[in-house]
Amino acid sequence: MSKKSTKGINISELSVPAFGYELIREELLEELLGNEAPNILYWAGKRLARKYPLFSINEIIEFFINAGWGTLTVTDEKKDEMEFTLSSELIRNRLLTKTNPTFQLEAGFLAEQIQQMKKVYAESYEHSKKRDGTIVFTVKWDPML
């Protein structure tokens, strides 16, 4: 993944406090988007994936780490679907403290990356595993006609 810079500052070397990230993600976006937040975030994730095309599962995993979204692992792969698990302390905390946290940004991003890589139509479904403090994404696809 290429490193973006702004006026000589290497963005990949900067960090944001978790509080600031969560404030924007869980409070501000929810306030601005209201009940439509999950749908809008899913499509925003797809748009981000088109803006940052990746070419392998390892690049997707690296992107998730660099974006601060958590540690992504492939847990299962079948002919027409893949299952990913996403984990981090922020995710564990969000699952424990928020009523209905959404991970649709990540779901949309995964769906679009797989769609572009495999040249298929792909959708991603999110499943919370509160007891484990993880999120499972199932990405399913159909061939393009």
**1 pLDDT above the threshold of 70:** no
Mean pLDDT of 90-96: 92
Nearest Cα neighbor of 102 from 60, 43, 47 is 43
Q: Which residue has the tokens 């940004």?
A: 105
Q: pTM, whole model, 2 decimals?
A: 0.85
Per-residue pLDDT of 55-69, as tens digits, reads: 999 999 999 999 989
Report residue 2's pLDDT band, with 50, 70 and 90 as the boundaries: very low
State the pLDDT at residue 61: 97
Is residue 8's pLDDT more than 50?
A: yes
- Are 91 and 133 contacting, i.e. CB atoms less than 8 angstroms apart? yes
